[in-house]
Chains A and B, each alone.
Chain A
Amino acid sequence: MSNLTILPVLIPLIAGIIATLFHKKLTLVRIFSQVSTIISTIVASYVFYYVIQNGTLVLESGDWMAPYGIVLVGDLLSVTLVLTTNIVALAAVFYAPYSLSDEQESFYFYTFYFLLISGVSGAFITGDLFNLFVFFEVLLMASYALIILGGGKVQLRESIKYVLINLFSSMLFVTTIAFLYSVVGTVNMAQIGQRVSEVNQSGILTTIAFLLFFVFGTKAALFPLYYWLPRPYIAPNPVISALFGALLTKVGIYSIFRVFTIIFVHETAITHQFFIWIAAFTLIFGVIGALSTNNIKLIVAYNIIPAVGFMIAGIGIYNETALSGAVYYLVNDMIIKAALFLLVGAIAYLAGTSDLRKMKGLIHHYPMLGWLLFISAFVLAGVPPFSGFIGKLLILQGAIEANEIIITIIGLLVSLLILFSVMRIFIQGFWGEKDAAIVPNKPLARKLMLPVAFLISFSVFLGIGAEWFYPITEEIGNNLMNPELYIKSVLKE
C-alpha cells in the first residue's frame, strides 16, 4: 500500500515521456494529456483519502531502511499539497488549448507541463534533503523550458534573469547541504531532525538554518529576494504564468515549513522571530508593487509576494493556530493565484491589451468574466464567506495569541490594500462606457472561463466547507508542531 506515495510523481512523469512521442499530433496529445491529468487527480485524491484514514504513508524505495535509502513521505501536509497541485494542473490543461498557439503546443508544451507537475509533486513528498534539491531541479528545468516556449523577445530577455537567479540559489542549496552533511552526517530529513538535538552545535546550525532560509526564500520570493519574480512571471503565456504563480513559489514555502519545523527548532527565538520581520517587509513591499503598476498581469504577479508573506508570518509565529492557518492559506492561495492568472490572461487576450488605462466597460461584453474577477478579488483579500478569510483569520489569531501585535496590524492593512489593488482591475477595466473597439468573442470567452470557474468554485467550496477542511489543517498544524511524529513515522524505532 505504501507504493501509493510515488504515484503522484510517477503518473505525470510517464505521461510526459509518452506525450513526447506524438507531440505534433495536437488532438491526440491534448486528449491524452487531459485524460492523464484526470487520472493523476483521481489517484492524488485517493492517496489523500487514504492518508486521512490511515495516517502517514512512508515508502522506502528499494527496500533500504529509512536513513540509508531514499524515503518518500506522504504525510497529511504533503498529500494535501499534491492534491491541490493536481487540481491546478487540471484547470491549466483544459485552458491550454485555447490560450497557446498551435506551434507552442506542438513544441513539447505537454511534456514540460507534466515534468513540472511531476517535479512539484516530488518536492512535496520527498523525505530527503538532496532528493528535494533534485526535484527542485526537475521542476526548475521544466519551468525554464516553459518560460521560453515561443521564444519571444521579452521572454528571452526575462528568462535569462530567471535562470541565473535559480542557478545561483541551487548552487547555494548544494553548498548548504554539504555544510549540513559535515555537521550531522546524513541527508535524510528525519534523521537530521533527530541528530540536530544531539550534536549540540547550535551556533553553526543556526548559520546553516539562515543559509537554507536564504535559498528557499529566493525560490519563494521573500522580501529582499523577490526582485526577480514579477517580470519573468508575466513574460510567458497566461497558462504557464498560472502554473508558475500557483506552484513554484509554494514549493519554496513548503520547504521552509518542513525544514523549520523538523530540523531547525532549537533556536526559535532567533530564526522564527527573524521570519516575522521578513514577513512584515514582504507584505508591505509586495503590496506596494501591486499598487504601483497599471499592467494587470503585473498586478497579479506582485500579489504573489504578500501572499507568501502571510505564510511566512504563520511559520514565524510558530504556534498551532498560526501554522494551520498558514497551511489553509497556502492551499487557498495556490488555487486562487492560478485562477487569477488565468482570468487576467483571458482579460488581456479578449481586451487586446494588458494596460489598465486602455480598457474600460468590459462588463458589457463579458459579464461572467467580470463577476468571476470580482469573486476572486474577494477570495484573495479574505472577505468572510470565502476561503482566504479563514486562513488569514487563523494566522492573525495565532499572532495575537503570541503577542505579535505589529504583524497583526500590518496583515490587516495589507489585506485592505490587496483588495484595492485587484479591485482596481474591476473598477477601471470593467465599469464605465461600452468600448466600441472591442469585438466580443463570446464562444472563446466561455471556453477560457470554464477552467477558471472550476478553480473559483473549488475555492468557494473551501471557504464554505471550512467545517470539513479545517480539521485537516488543524491536524497538519499539530503535526508540524510535533516533529517527533514525523521522525518516528520515518525512522520506525
Chain B
Amino acid sequence: MEIIMAILAGILFTTGVYNLLQKQLLRIIIGTALISHGAHLFILTMGKLKRGAPPILDKTITDYTDPLPQALILTSIVISFGVTSLLLVLAYRASKENGTDNMETLRGNQND
C-alpha cells in the first residue's frame, strides 16, 4: 500500500513542479496546490499505513492508526490553505495592476 501511495505522491510532485514552471500565473498556483497535496499524502504514507481503527479512544479496540501524522497534516493543510488564498488574491491584484498574468512579461524594468 505504501509503495502505491509513494508513487502517487511522486506523480503529484511531478505535475506540481511542471505547473510551477509554466508562464501563466494561475497554473503556477495550481502547481503549488498539487505540491502541497503531494506533501500531505506523503506525511500520511510515511507515518505507515497500518490497518487500525481511527484514533478515537474506545475500550474494545487495541490497534489504532498513528494519530501524530494526522495532526501534522491537519496543521499543514490549514497553513497551506491560508497561503494559497493569499496567493490567489495576490495574483488577482498583481495581474490587474500590471495588466498581465504572464510571468515572462511580469518582469519590470531595471530602475524601479
Using CB atoms and an 8 Å cutoff, list the residues of chain A in contact with chain B. Answer: 130, 133-134, 137, 141, 144, 148, 151, 153-154, 156-157, 159-160, 163-164, 167-168, 170-172, 174-175, 177-179, 181-182, 187, 355
Contact = CB atoms under 8 A, between A and B. Distances in A.
Interface string B55-92: 00000000000001100100110011011001100110
B39 A164 contact: no
Contacts of A160: 25, 87, 90-91, 94, 106
Given A134-B75, A164-B32, A171 B80 contact: yes
Contacts of A163: 83, 86-87, 90
B94 A181 contact: no
B112 A154 contact: yes
A178 B32 contact: no
A178 B90 contact: no
A156 B94 contact: yes
A133 B48 CA distance: 22
The residue in B25, B75, B83, B91 that gathers the most chain A C-beta atoms within 10 A of its C-beta is B83
18 contacts: A130-B72, A134-B79, A137-B79, A137-B83, A148-B93, A151-B97, A153-B97, A157-B94, A160-B91, A163-B83, A164-B87, A170-B83, A174-B43, A178-B39, A178-B42, A178-B47, A181-B47, A181-B68
Report the interface size class on chain B: 35 or more
A362 B91 CA distance: 40
Contacts, number: 99
A160 B91 CA distance: 7
The prevalent SS among residues of A at the interface is: helix
A151 B39 CA distance: 31
A171 B90 contact: no
A333 B86 CA distance: 31
B28 A164 contact: yes
B24 interface: no
Contact of A141 (B48, B82, B107): B82
Across the A-B interface, the 10 shortest Cβ-Cβ residue pairs: A182-B46, A156-B94, A178-B46, A178-B43, A171-B39, A174-B39, A175-B39, A137-B79, A171-B35, A178-B42
Contacts of B87: 160, 163-164, 167
B111 A151 contact: no
A133 B108 CA distance: 33
Contacts of A170: 79-80, 83
Contact of B98 (A148, A157, A182, A187): A157
Contact of B20 (A153, A156, A168): A168
Contacts of B47: 178, 181-182
A334 B98 CA distance: 34
